[in-house]
Amino acid sequence: MWTKNSAGLFRPQNRPDEGDSPSGSKMAANKVKDDVELDEMEDEEDAGDGVVVSKRSLLGALNQYQNVLEMMQALSPSVKRRLKALKRLQFEATKVEAQFYQEYHELEMKYEALYQPFRDKRKEIVNGAHEPTDQESEWPSDDEKEDDLCDETTKMKIEDVAADSKPAAAAEDKNKKNEPEKGIPDFWLTIFKNVGILSEMVQEHDEPILKNLKDIVVTLTDKPMGFNLDFYFAPNDFFNNAVLTKHYEMKCEPDEGDPFSFEGPEIVKCTGCTIDWKKGKNVTVKVVKKKQKHRSRGSVRTVTRTVQNDSFFNFFDPPAVEDENEMDDHIQSLLTADFEIGHYIRERIVPNAVLFFTGEALEDEDYEEEEEMEDEDEEEGENEGGGGVVNKASLRNAAAGNPNECKQQ
């Protein structure tokens, strides 16, 4: 399973451990102790990568956890019974929380329909189907003086070219300058290249295709809870599809095995679509040639095979998972990244597309990231001082060498 973290993205959900029984508590404590010792041995090796966790912080967390275990074991049966009653109340409250998120999703579906007319108008302007009126274009800008200067410069250049009676090429150049530019060229491609999480996916051979991307539409679904990302393309030389779709399915109920880990809806599955590539235009594969030498005769032959190529369009072909318990780390990592990207496109890119094009939303992202880093530094300092209560998840993160996730609760 994947759960939403503090950044609003989705990560693999931690499985319950064996710390709920006295024997399980000892096993958990011993395992953590072994992990701490192993981490201490690897400190010198990891130092170059900047992932060393403070030994004092780890040992402090271990001591705190052992103290909590000892305290729990020392409680009287009547107190333990009351704690179980509190946990039952907590579980019932979690079910109400799940109902809240379900109704919140229904409210989102209602308002998506109200947002859509504005996004349809945005699509028309981006693609040159509608030219905004003076009233529609009225918006304060810090670059207005600069724009006026550019207009004057352009006007002077056009007048200079018109006055030049020399070659016919100059007249042709003048016509090109006077030709009106439709819409906002490369709108979505520019956004993809501006946003770090997406620019890493876009390869050079993807750019000519993404120039044909006309719009991205988010559609929320109810049963099951989820959402679609529909990518609309103009007719192009690469594939025949007019729309490429990615569907994400979500779960909004506590996990039976670990109900208290519930933090809201989580993406549990995604499916892509088949791209109908035109002959020789599939950028998601490449042909590799390899020479093979015959052992006895010594003759050499060239063998060709098709392998996967890095491309943004692999986004529409996510790995299929039949049993999440049997996933290897590589597949889990791919799906976690996929879920984060899908969530980010839905929550940030589509609603605020113009701000990502102009870069204004990127400035907000930088500030948010800086604030998160400051918060993490403060939490690490508190851990070193021994304050607060460290839970099992925090201890696991610390032992695994993830100090940024070792947070107090």
170: pLDDT strictly greater than 80: no
How many CA atoms lie within 13 Å of 283's alpha carbon, on the beta-carbon side? 20
pTM summary value: 0.66
* Cα of 59 vs its chain's centroid, Å: 34
18 close to 28: Cβ distance less than 8 angstroms: yes
Output the pLDDT for position 355.
Answer: 96
Output the pLDDT for position 153.
Answer: 46
Output the pLDDT for position 364.
Answer: 61
Q: Widest CA span of the chain, in angstroms?
A: 102
Contacts of 286 (CB under 8 A, 6+ apart): 306, 307, 308, 309
Q: Looking at per-residue confidence, does 249 or 287 come out higher?
A: 249
Output the pLDDT for position 329.
Answer: 83
Output the pLDDT for position 53.
Answer: 55
> Which helix (H) or strand (E) segment is 46 a member of?
helix 22-46
For 335-386, how does the pLDDT look when each residue is reduced to its tens digit (9 = 90+)?
Answer: 989 999 999 999 999 999 999 999 999 876 655 555 555 555 555 554 444 3
